[in-house]
Structure 1
């Protein structure tokens, strides 16, 4: 007998076990440690009281994790992870969990819902379309060892002690996805390192990244200061910390300038995702 419940009473250990079992055969390797799951719950603004679980004989066999935060001034939900353990697939559990949780989201005042799905995951895309999601944009993930010219101009890269979020946003050409948004960076706090370059005592470039795995959440250069090596200096600094490849997820496919820069320093796309919305 299947039952559906919200997840505010689930233990972290049970959630971790089901999460990892659900993603054990995923297109991209995804197995989290307890600490990584805790970071995800915090950074993605996950509200377990608005997240759904499918239970069989009290065992968690499927879940939808929802982050809750404002987007463009309206309360939004973000599907931070949907999983069903391999032995229980083919029963439309994702659709049934959505049907269960939708009234909770509406009662909480959620206006829009977002998610990301790998472009090759056709069954998941069809499942999401069946509950009302449509394609919003394509996102590209990059990784690699930065190849920075030795003769480039040198800049002083310094740790940022205070975050001027409005200043950062003024550098953008495109909106970061949920996992990389300013809300996520505020949630993470000191879990990310933030660095910047100043010219004439004004911030003109910045980056925020996870020092544990060199995952860059955000980087940007002031529009009037581009093509001067500032972005390269940021990436060189991050790489030099532990001499490991860097990665970025969810670059907007229409962000031609960002993509051109990443390719110019030797990074390569390794997976594409669709951002979907309803």
Structure 2
């Protein structure tokens, strides 16, 4: 684990965001996000760690799904084929494990990495955005036409959404219920107590116990609903409360394809996040099908 941490620190030292590893932090990351040390790959050059790919494999929605949770190569050793060898070893592992769908995220501006993934059969299926709002919210998300008794909101754990018929099993790995150990859920219910919408989110507190941020991972309305906008608004209104709390409110890997949620958040004043260097905080979502599904 020490060698993997060293490879990660060197490989990410010039990355778009600050990522630092210690052996303990790497073990914690593997555990919390469902990554596997057994299925991850570390490359060596002259007996020194040269790079790694962190992998996770699990059954999701009835399919064996893999996630590349991080690819790193030491800067001075790039363009020597190490990335290709790491990817080749990863794909071989996936095939041995019967992976039906492999997924990963990459910074949109990282064209070299995206090109590498494409040579191994990955293709872009969506853009993932990080929207944010700093400070108190000025207005409610709820539609003025909705009555107090039209919907009911129930709060629970991230685990509670996993069996919903419209749960998004194809969402990015890090936004899935099993990757949110401290995650919470909002369930929107109709007058008959049927669940017609949900959201997954986390609340983050600072060292003094004050609310620092609220992070939204998923938000969906049941398909075919004419009131889908109102359902999503109910969920967002509940999870981002209290509205007068001057904290940071963000999305994490929110698919641009979820146009309804993106639109409603932008109408509420959410804007695209950027790194400290002004680089747009946006990723591409890439998938690769297994041999039998191509």
| TM-score category, normalised to shorter length | 0.7 to 0.9
Determine if the alignment matches structure 1 residue 263 to structure 2 residue 266: yes
Determine if the alignment matches structure 1 residue 230 to structure 2 residue 222: no
Structure 1: gaps of 5 or more residues: 1-10
Determine if the alignment matches structure 1 residue 113 to structure 2 residue 102: yes
Pick closer, same or farther for the CA change 1:18–1:210 going to 2, 3 Å.
farther
CA contact (8 A) 1:53 1:60 kept: yes
Q: Deviations over 1:116-136 (max 9, x none)?
A: 111110111121122222222
Matches within 5 A, 1:237-252: 237=241, 243-252=246-255
**What residue number does 1:214 align with?**
214
CA contact (8 A) 1:157 1:234 kept: yes
CA drift at 1:77: 1.6
SS in 1 for 2:17: coil
SS in 2 for 1:42: helix
Indicate the RMSD between aligned Cα atoms, in angstroms: 3.2
* Stretch moving more, 199-208 or 112-121: 199-208
Partner Cα separation in structure 2 for residue 14 and residue 86 of structure 1: 16
SS in 1 for 2:80: coil
Partner Cα separation in structure 2 for residue 151 and residue 260 of structure 1: 12
Matches within 5 A, 1:30-109: 30-31=19-20, 37-71=26-60, 73-109=62-98
Structure 2: gaps of 5 or more residues: 205-212, 274-280, 289-294
Pick closer, same or farther for the CA change 1:58–1:235 going to 2, 3 Å.
same
Greater helix share, structure number: 1
CA contact (8 A) 1:84 1:93 kept: yes
Partner Cα separation in structure 1 for residue 31 and residue 97 of structure 2: 19
Aligned residues: 260
Partner Cα separation in structure 1 for residue 117 and residue 44 of structure 2: 21
User: Aligned match of 2:114 in 125, 133, 137?
Assistant: 125
